[in-house]
Chains A and B, each alone.
Chain A
Amino acid sequence: MRVPSIPAADFLPLVPAIILLVGACVLLMTEVFLRSPSRGYQAPLSLFFTGLAGAVSLSSAFEPARPVFQGFAAQDPFSSAVTLVVCVALGLAVLTSSGFLRSRNAERGEFYALMLFAASGMSLLAMSTELITLFINIEVLSVGTYALTSYLRRGTRPAEAGFKYFILGAFSSAILLYGAALLYGATGSTKLSEMAVVLPAALAAQPALVYAGALLVAGGFAFKVAAVPFHMWTPDVYEGAPTPVTALMSAGVKAAAFAAMIRVFLVLGKGMDPSVPLALFSGLAYLTMIVGNLLALPQRNVKRMLAYSSIGHAGYLLVGVAALFVTAEAPAGDGFRFFGATPLLAPGLSEVAARADALKGLLFYLLAYTVTTVGSFGVLAALERSEDEPKGTAWDLDRFAGLAQRRPGWAFAMAVFMLSLGGVPPTVGFMGKLLIFRSAVDTGLVGLAVVGVLTSAAAIYYYLRVVVAMYMRPAPEDERIPVTLSWGTELALALSALAVVVLGILPGTVTDWLQQASTLWLGQ
């Protein structure tokens, strides 16, 4: 039997995930050796580990792409960039958690530990290049978030949310695994690099098996990123989960799941007719953009509105994913003509350049969405009162009435986040949408770009409704001054508002860096 040797350098790409893992274990241990009831140090401690992991992934971001562990994972700039986005989401979520948990008398080491565990799963997922490793890491991040969803058990909502998320999540994982099994049956390997080599032959021998496997895998991923028609769980779970957890779910889980989906389908797309993944992802993108934004329109509950808005944003990201599969020449034979003529690249644009542009747009959008959405959930977390939660009025639009007079800083930050989510310049949300839609137009996916712009315009209505409530409605008389005052929340809001504006005005440095980060290791 061949015993492969694994050089020590193969462990280097895992360092960010290992740091997060060690941090989680340290936080668990702080509960064991607890000497005083004050737990104020736990959030800074988690923040330290998050920052360390982020710094390490940043420092390794420019190393050349290479496979590690015999092709079970890959070290590439793409995975480093995704890990960095995850660390940003985690850091901001931890900052908002401390005040949120303390006001509910629920600050425990396990909470931060589970957050760090989930984040290390996300980091590992971004670099997995083998279907079983990928599945296990999806489960690590999912199990962490299942437990976090029902962490606070006040009223029936968290229990319902946790149970729903667990059952549907397990179901979708099973679908993904079934698809992976079919792909293994067709290609005889679970490593993406080996599958890419065998795929053309496998496709010629038994096309139905390959396509069925790819479809099921896509279905499993579509659930994780909350794409329509796999979105039903999102509003209930996002509403029932503790607000900082919702922030981590909407930003970190989405980023990691998108990263894994892109990696898998770039490999599968090399072997099969590229118009199949193109039709699949443009179909999902159309549905997700339209349905997500339409369902958000009537929401008066701001937390539910943000949940539907996160579905809509998954749709914009799917536009970027679809743009990855457009080729320079029409594929031979009769490919799927799902939406009229086959889109082609703009003249003078090479496939490599178009793909790098689309990846850069996707990464930038993920970063932009992360700072914006975690910030807006941070405002929600600061405003909600625990006694309103069982009644379900904790996140009503009325809670925002007159916020500009009572807490002008928060109102301004929330206004910035809402404008960024709506894609209004000069915020980072606008830059993200610009990059995504530009690569859609460059690749000939004009229909997707048009629908994207139209739905963004419609979305401004429900985002601005929050701004109007904050600035133009009088505060209710009996309203007590909110609510959770803590340095963590204030810092998180200030940082994310600053990031939204600065990245919106001067995106250059980050986009240049992400341009380099758009390299993936996909096998030879």
Chain B
Amino acid sequence: MNAEVVLFYAFAVLALLSAGMVIASRSPINSALSLVATFFFLAGTYVLLLAHTIAVLQVLVYAGAIMVLFLFVIMLLNLTETEGERAKVTFGRVAGALAAVSLFALLALVVMGVKGAPTAMATAELARFGTLAALGQTLYTEWLLPFEAVSLLLLVAIVGAVVVAKARI
């Protein structure tokens, strides 16, 4: 068992634990902070996958910018910790829970059955793999069309957000 495997299991278990905390904790602030932790541990697994740039972006954008916004919104809403009504057991809820559990079990079976294959990349190629230079080169040449489509998506999202946030139309 080398260091990489140890690190992987550490990151994976901690990511799962903190993801569980997001759902389980009663206070929204705790949930948001657990989400920050989840993002950090995910960034760790990205580093192990040699995706350095993605890992840095994950920490900067998700754990940094987006989660700060999350916390702001939660604090602005000023949610008090009140005990909600106990959810009633209805047919729809039971069916939904069953469907979710069976989907999860199915996907778990599928993912457990995946056979890993050693990478075909040469060492020199691997060293370049997740760097900013390699990412930029792929993104701006081969992936030009999806890249431009993303800029369209961002424009639509901005206009849409302004329209929805207007007090009254």
B145 contacts A206, CB within 8 Å?
no
Report the nearest A residue to B146, measured CB to CB.
Answer: A133
- Confirm or deny: B134 has a beta carbon within 8 angstroms of a beta carbon on chain A: yes
- Confirm or deny: B163 has a beta carbon within 8 angstroms of a beta carbon on chain A: yes
Report the nearest B residue to A215, measured CB to CB.
Answer: B106
Contact of A146 among B144, B145, B153, B160 (CB under 8 A): B160
- Confirm or deny: B109 has a beta carbon within 8 angstroms of a beta carbon on chain A: yes
A113 contacts B159, CB within 8 Å?
yes
Across-interface contacts of B157 in A (CB, < 8 A): 143
- Confirm or deny: A162 has a beta carbon within 8 angstroms of a beta carbon on chain B: yes
B149 contacts A136, CB within 8 Å?
yes
Which of A117-125, A285-293, A451-459, A491-499 lies at the interface? A117-125
B149 contacts A4, CB within 8 Å?
no
A209 contacts B159, CB within 8 Å?
no
Across-interface contacts of B163 in A (CB, < 8 A): 110-111, 114, 147, 151
CA distance A139 to B168 in the complex (A): 25
Least Cβ–Cβ distance between A293 and chain B, in angstroms: 22
CA distance A108 to B163 in the complex (A): 10
Interface set, chain A 436-469, CB cutoff 8 A to B? none
* A interface majority secondary structure: helix
B109 contacts A69, CB within 8 Å?
no
B145 contacts A150, CB within 8 Å?
no
Contact of A3 among B137, B146, B150, B169 (CB under 8 A): B137
Across-interface contacts of B106 in A (CB, < 8 A): 212
Of B106, B109, B142, most buried by chain A (CB within 10 Å of CB) is: B142
Of A130, A133, A182, most buried by chain B (CB within 10 Å of CB) is: A133
Contact of A209 among B113, B134, B152 (CB under 8 A): B113
Interface set, chain A 72-110, CB cutoff 8 A to B? 72-73, 106, 108, 110
B141 contacts A120, CB within 8 Å?
no
A121 contacts B152, CB within 8 Å?
yes
A110 contacts B168, CB within 8 Å?
no
CA distance A415 to B153 in the complex (A): 39
Across-interface contacts of A182 in B (CB, < 8 A): 110
Across-interface contacts of B115 in A (CB, < 8 A): 205-206
A114 contacts B159, CB within 8 Å?
yes
Interface residues on A, range: 35 or more
Across-interface contacts of B149 in A (CB, < 8 A): 124, 133, 136-137, 140
A-B CB pair tally, cutoff 8 Å: 90
Across-interface contacts of A212 in B (CB, < 8 A): 106-107, 110
A69 contacts B169, CB within 8 Å?
no
Across-interface contacts of A6 in B (CB, < 8 A): 141, 144
CA distance A516 to B23 in the complex (A): 53
Interface residues on B, range: 20 to 34
A136 contacts B146, CB within 8 Å?
yes
Least Cβ–Cβ distance between A17 and chain B, in angstroms: 9
Contact of A144 among B107, B113, B137, B160 (CB under 8 A): B160
A139 contacts B113, CB within 8 Å?
no
- Confirm or deny: B89 has a beta carbon within 8 angstroms of a beta carbon on chain A: no
* B interface majority secondary structure: helix
B146 contacts A114, CB within 8 Å?
no
CA distance A6 to B169 in the complex (A): 43
CA distance A6 to B110 in the complex (A): 38
Contact with A along B99-129 (1 / 0, CB 8 A): 0000000110110011100000000000000
Least Cβ–Cβ distance between A20 and chain B, in angstroms: 10
Contact of A121 among B141, B142, B156, B159 (CB under 8 A): B156
Least Cβ–Cβ distance between B74 and chain A, in angstroms: 18
Of B141, B144, B156, B160, most buried by chain A (CB within 10 Å of CB) is: B156
Contact A28 B159, CB 8 Å, known A6-B144, A208-B109, A209-B113: yes
Contact with B along A129-153 (1 / 0, CB 8 A): 0101100110110011011001111
Across-interface contacts of A146 in B (CB, < 8 A): 160
Contact with B along A1-37 (1 / 0, CB 8 A): 1011010000000000000010000001000000000
CA distance A373 to B152 in the complex (A): 28
B110 contacts A147, CB within 8 Å?
no
Contact of A143 among B113, B137, B156, B168 (CB under 8 A): B156
Contact of A139 among B153, B162, B164 (CB under 8 A): B153
Contact with A along B74-97 (1 / 0, CB 8 A): 000000000000000000000000
Report the nearest A residue to B160, measured CB to CB.
Answer: A147
- Confirm or deny: B5 has a beta carbon within 8 angstroms of a beta carbon on chain A: no
Least Cβ–Cβ distance between A73 and chain B, in angstroms: 6
Across-interface contacts of A130 in B (CB, < 8 A): 145-146
Across-interface contacts of B144 in A (CB, < 8 A): 6, 69
Contact of A106 among B113, B141, B162, B169 (CB under 8 A): B169
A117 contacts B152, CB within 8 Å?
yes
Contact of B156 among A70, A144, A150 (CB under 8 A): A144
B160 contacts A143, CB within 8 Å?
yes
B152 contacts A120, CB within 8 Å?
yes
- Confirm or deny: A185 has a beta carbon within 8 angstroms of a beta carbon on chain B: yes
CA distance A438 to B160 in the complex (A): 43
A72 contacts B146, CB within 8 Å?
yes
Across-interface contacts of A117 in B (CB, < 8 A): 152, 155-156, 159
- Confirm or deny: B24 has a beta carbon within 8 angstroms of a beta carbon on chain A: no
Across-interface contacts of A124 in B (CB, < 8 A): 149, 152
A147 contacts B146, CB within 8 Å?
no
Least Cβ–Cβ distance between A3 and chain B, in angstroms: 5
CA distance A113 to B115 in the complex (A): 48
Least Cβ–Cβ distance between B3 and chain A, in angstroms: 26
Contact A132 B169, CB 8 Å, known A143-B160, A206-B115: no
Contact A4 B141, CB 8 Å, known A110-B159, A152-B169, A208-B109: yes
Report the nearest B residue to A117, measured CB to CB.
Answer: B156
B153 contacts A140, CB within 8 Å?
yes
Report the nearest A residue to B115, measured CB to CB.
Answer: A206
List the interface of chain B (C-beta within 8 A of A).
Answer: 106-107, 109-110, 113-115, 134, 137, 141-146, 149-150, 152-153, 155-157, 159-164, 168-169
The 9 tightest CB contacts between A and B, nearest first, are A147-B160, A69-B145, A136-B149, A212-B110, A72-B145, A133-B146, A117-B156, A208-B110, A106-B169
Write 11 A-B pairs (CB below 8 A) sorted by A numbering: A4-B141, A6-B144, A28-B159, A72-B143, A114-B159, A133-B145, A136-B146, A140-B152, A144-B156, A147-B160, A150-B164
